[in-house]
């Protein structure tokens, strides 16, 4: 599972902290997802997709 969260966040001009606040999670969670430390939970993945107006499948890719 890799993802395009970092690219989307940077393109939106947001810091990890700002995205974390928008998603109501910690900055470390955003960082961990971006750096591939672990996959988000399903509800968080859906929240991320909604935030960037994409589908889950467009952002998260099974290897």
Provide the binding-site residues for DNA, judged by CB under 7 A. 10, 15-17, 24-29, 31-35, 37-44
Q: Is 11 a binder of a copy of itself (CB under 8 A)?
A: no
- In the complex with DNA, the residue whose CB is nearer, 6 or 54, is 6
**CB of 26 closer than 8 Å to CB of 20:** yes
Question: 7-12: long-range contacts at Cβ-Cβ below 8 A with a sequence spacing of 24 or more?
Answer: 8/52, 8/54, 8/59, 9/34, 12/52
Q: Which does 55 bind (CB under 5 to 8 A by kind): a copy of itself, DNA, none?
A: a copy of itself
Q: Is 29 a binder of a copy of itself (CB under 8 A)?
A: no
């Amino acid at each position: 599972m890799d993802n395009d969260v970092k690219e989307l966040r940077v393109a939106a001009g947001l810091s990890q902290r700002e995205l974390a606040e928008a998603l109501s999670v910690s900055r470390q969670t955003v960082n961990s997802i971006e750096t591939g430390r672990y996959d988000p939970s399903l509800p968080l993945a859906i929240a991320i997709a909604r935030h960037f107006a994409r589908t889950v499948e467009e952002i998260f890719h099974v290897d």
